[in-house]
Structure 1
């Protein structure tokens, strides 16, 4: 099997910088609170509930017993998915572009999990990360245009037998939010999600898993298997 080395485009590099700047800057405290048990607004509560439901859906695609499996948590954020994977016995490499989120994830990992966890701040597409049995990428690919998304998935699927990931679906609500973001950008606004019609993605082995919609959280779960 040949090694696939992704060739990120200029748009990919620019988006990566914006994502890193946002999550390592103004969003760090907000994201830490959202992914904790602390009280949040009603809108953010729907996002929290949606993310919990999506994480459960993604995990349902993986074996309940992951002992002996190497799993990449691509865009680990504050580590909720990482902890679940390690609880199933996986050897997890948790990667995020934001060093500050990685530090939060590291601090939150419960002691005594049967699996092993390693953390790394950097690009989740780095081919030096190696090969995996499974890759999970929850809401970490939602900011990229279709060509960059397809390139990312091609690289990931060359290094794993299964990639479970999410995209922002092309719903009327998300399209309206996307257009508003394009028309009225702000320096402190989160990176704009790029809604995708999953049926138009040119990715071998792609299949739809399901959608989670909870208030302001709408996300589509897909997987690639080879």
Structure 2
């Protein structure tokens, strides 16, 4: 009888430990993905952005253009240059490099300005007050999931706030989709700051992400 009792106590303790471990894992697992860290180098150009290219001292080389479906533009006098994924400083350096390679200018001073951002949308479904697309502010690279949901009207009364799913598609340098991952995010803990030690304080939402909020059992 004593052995049976000890066995049941052991099983109970094991189940509790497993439950706690799973809870901690559900809070921490998405922190292992590098995309949860905001890129410190600034806004990245993307297809549909309208930009102005200026070359110092060469007014005839000024070009107003839009990044095409390949993420490229055609500056004055040279072939297409791919700029998608670069910030404006990196884009200016790349155009300057191409001018030198194609023997147009020896030491060009190039400036790239964004004159109109393309719309960056995320999609919300489930137990949120405003379902459908949400347009991110044009000047941001991403936004925390807590802020996205708040700006979209917040959760409904029956939302399961501790288990929100974010589906994200990843692309290679050529712009081809390579994989899709779904993350389970404890938004309630993020908003209250009660995540376990070592977990990220924010989960970033990026253009194209799909946020699905399940309903809790009543």
> TM-score with structure 2 length normalisation?
0.21
Q: Which has the larger radius of gyration?
A: 2
| Greater share of strand | 2
